[in-house]
Amino acid sequence: MRRGLRIGSRRRAWARRFPRLAVALRAGLVFAAAFAGAFGLISIVVPHSTPQVATLGVSLLMGLFCVALAVQSLRLRRLHQQLRRVILHNETLADRNWELQESNDLSRARRDTSDKPAAMGETDATRRAKSRLLAIASHEMRTPLGGIIGMSRLLLDTPLSPEQATYARAVKTSGESLLSLIDEFLDDARIDAGRIELEHAPFGLTPLIEEITELLAPRAQARGLEIAADVDERLPAQVVGDAARLRQVLLNLAGNAIKFTTEGGVALIVSPGERDGGIDVVVRDTGIGIAPEAQQRIFGEFEQADEAIARTYGGTGLGLSISERIVRRMGGRITLRSEPGVGSSFTVSLPLAAAGGGDVARLAPPDLSGQAVLIAAPLTVEAELVAQRLQRWGARTRVLRDPEDVRASLPDQSWAAILIDIGFGRDVAEALAQDVMADVAQRILLLTPAMRSEFLPDLPAAFTGYLVKPLRAASLAARLGGALIDVAAPGIADGEPPGFDQPNIAPSGLSVLIAEDNDINALLIRAMLNRLGHRAVVVTDGRQAVQHWLAAQRERTPFDLILMDLQMPRLDGIAASRQIRAQETTTAARPTPILALTANTLAEDRDACLAAGMDGVLIKPLDRDKLADVLADIAAMRPIAV
């Protein structure tokens, strides 16, 4: 097309430059066409023309017809292209007109106070529709992922060759990564739809921060990094806010910090904020840093510092955007200080009021006034935080990275304790402890969970005790205060990896009715229950669930628990639960615990379940440890805590 346009424009330019020659050529073409047509007709009509002349005439007529057909075809093609351009132009104008009309209507709805209730009603309806779409999308995506993750966990609990176990772990890790990605997209859409729900309930600040560091510790330690936390003792033991959303924000910030750090580590530091009642949580790393021109852009949706970083480290660019909007909804703000090649510090400032009452006791730190503590560690991220904490407790501290410097410092003063990091290696750490035995009374080994099996249960005699990294404040206080003799205070990092350990339940197990229409999920839940020592009956819709429950009641073999999927054919989980509760009211039967199974995470779905008489909600993919806890509570006749 472009070539044809170029030829046409050149032809017209040539005609304007040489008008007489152009007229002569047109006259010649017209004469040639007329002559060819006339000669052809005469040669055919004249009876005495020779066959050669007649053939030539027919050829001239055919040639003239073909030329005319080609000219008309070109004209029709040109007209078709022009018509297509006009249609596309009209469609563009129509789209633009629709956009302008929508913008105009929205502007009138925002400034016209007389029509404000109707406009608000339309906005609410749109938001409700978006919320339901999110709920459907969440269910449809999370349900098959739950089967993938759950089945891979079951597979890992069976006898596998090393190669098979590697493949199964890869499937599980990939499924969990995809689930995290889906949750990011759903959270982003949920915030856009105005459906982010915030809770206001008391929670312990120190346990939350320490759990975050312990959850991320394996990832950091696998990369040769440290992660540590320090919570100022001046802060209240409990604050009021949304613990789950705060955990989400801090996990995102600390997880990013680990991803973009190759040496050193990550620190979470919590202290009183500049404003009264405010709390600052600083997530600081020693990573690659962020260029000044990119520091504001990274809080936008699908934004990262630059394309090279996106290719190297991956990610959607949604995490910081979601975190920033969540913090804003919580009444706070996120600020950033960063220097390329040095590291970054994200500060989350939140107005978290102290919780009144409660049974959670504030940590009572030991009085270390006048005592000197030596900290020997090749990496100083956690060592420096420990030193700051010990100084608040009254101790004098010194952090050294070289074992020879430690030995040289022994005569400087009387040391009450020394903390020796396993990062030096087993032989160096044990030799250092041997060398300081005569000068230091407490010689404490700092272990990572991965190194526990190498040193325990027979701790070398050169050490008087050990602590597991990342350190908990309570463990450190108990160890240095003399209350902890030979074990560390329990924590997530101190325990063994979670597994299918059977809870402390009745030997006969529980009878559980599973209402689940997805075959894979039903198989997964049934396998979990069987491994936990319980009996399970599976039905595929709500009507069958009600019928099986009624039959069990009549036979005096009632179910101990019903796991009820919400979205099922014939009769959904909400309606089935209402029917069961109505029957219990009529017959004065003892209520059967009913837990909803759903991939929907909206608060309105949880409220609907509770309004239908259910006792709680289990979110898909089903967490086996939470399920085990619930079953143990039911078996022990305790209230259900989900």
Domain holding 551: CATH number?
Answer: 3.40.50.2300
344 and 402 in a single domain? The answer is no
Question: What's the rounded Cα separation, in Å, for the pair 479 and 486?
Answer: 9
334 and 389 in one domain?
A: no
- The answer, yes or no, to whether residue 257 has pLDDT greater than 60, is yes
Dihedral in degrees, nearest 10, Cα atoms 401, 407, 408, 412: 100
Residue 112 lies in a domain: no
Task: Please state whether the peptide bond connecting residue 470 to the residue before it is cis, i.e. omega within 30 degrees of 0.
Answer: yes
Which are the contacts of 351, defined by CB distance < 8 A and separation ≥ 6? 275, 277, 278, 279, 330, 331, 332
Q: At residue 478, what is the residue type?
A: A
Confidence of residue 405 (pLDDT cuts 50, 70, 90): very high
Q: Are residues 206 and 335 in the same domain?
A: yes
**Residue 208 shares a structural domain with residue 346:** yes
DSSP tag of 422: G
**Domain residue limits at 457:** 372-480
pLDDT of 310 over the 70 cut: no
- Alpha carbon distances (Å) from 500 to 154, 228, 348, 534: 9, 29, 37, 13
Would you state the pLDDT for residue 79? 66
Q: How far is CA 298 from the centre of its chain?
A: 17
What residues pair up with 446 in beta bridges, in sequence order? 421, 467
On whether the CB atoms of residues 375 and 387 are closer than 8 A, the answer is: yes
User: Which span out of 26-30, 405-409, 600-604 was modeled with the highest average pLDDT?
Assistant: 405-409
Q: Is residue 110 part of a domain?
A: no
Same domain for 567 and 445: no
Q: Based on the domain organization, do 383 and 470 belong to the same domain? A: yes
CA distance 288 to 105: 47
Q: Are residues 347 and 377 in the same domain?
A: no
pLDDT tens column, 101-119: 655 655 555 575 444 444 4
Longest dimension (CA), the chain: 139
pLDDT, tens digit, for every residue of 343-364? Answer: 999 999 999 888 876 555 667 7
- Least Cα distance to 602 among 137, 200, 122 occurs for 137
Of 94, 121, 139, which residue sits at a domain end? Answer: 94
Evaluate whether residue 103 is within a structural domain. Answer: no
Residue 349: its pLDDT value, please? 93
Of 374 and 123, the one with more pLDDT = 374
How confident is residue 90, by pLDDT bands cut at 50, 70 and 90? low
Backbone φ and ψ for 247, nearest 5 degrees, come out as -60, -40
Across the chain, what does the average pLDDT equal?
Answer: 77
Token pair in block for residue 189: 């859409």
As for how many domains the chain has, the answer is 4
- Any domain includes 452: yes
Range 251-261 average pLDDT: 89
Give the domain-ending residue among 351, 386, 404. 351
3-state per-residue secondary structure call for 273-317: CCCCCEEEEEEEECCCCCCHHHCCHHHCCCCCCCHHHHHHHCCCC
Q: Which range among 1-5, 291-295, 456-460 shows the weakest confidence by mean pLDDT?
A: 1-5
Asked whether residue 90 is assigned to any structural domain, the reply reads yes
Q: Is 453 helix (H, G, I), strand (E, B) or coil?
A: helix
d(CA 272, CA 231): 10
CA–CA distance, 273 with 248 (Å, rounded to integer) = 20
Q: Is the pLDDT of residue 584 over 80?
A: yes
- At 547 the pLDDT is 92
Residues 28-54: what's their mean pLDDT? 60
Are 584 and 551 in a shared domain? yes
Residue 187 falls within a domain, yes or no?
no
The pLDDT of residue 77 is 66
| Range among 78-82, 579-583, 600-604 with highest mean pLDDT value | 579-583
Torsion, Cα of 488, 491, 496, 500 (10° steps)? 140
Give yes or no: residues 382 and 341 share one domain: no
Lowest-pLDDT choice from 407-411, 466-470, 546-550, 634-638: 634-638
The answer, yes or no, to whether residue 401 has pLDDT greater than 80, is yes
| CATH number of the domain where residue 293 is located | 3.30.565.10
Helix (H) or strand (E) holding 421: strand 417-421
CA 123/CA 516 separation, integer angstroms: 35
pLDDT given at position 487: 40
394 and 311, same structural domain?
A: no
240 and 323 share a domain? yes
User: DSSP 3-state assignment of 544?
Assistant: helix
Where is the domain boundary, 351, 380, 407? 351
Is pLDDT at 227 greater than 60 in this prediction? Answer: yes
338 within a domain of the structure (yes/no): yes
Residue 608 has a pLDDT of 85
Does residue 396 share a domain with residue 328? no
186 inside domain: no
Q: Tell me the pTM.
A: 0.55
Rg (CA), the chain: 38
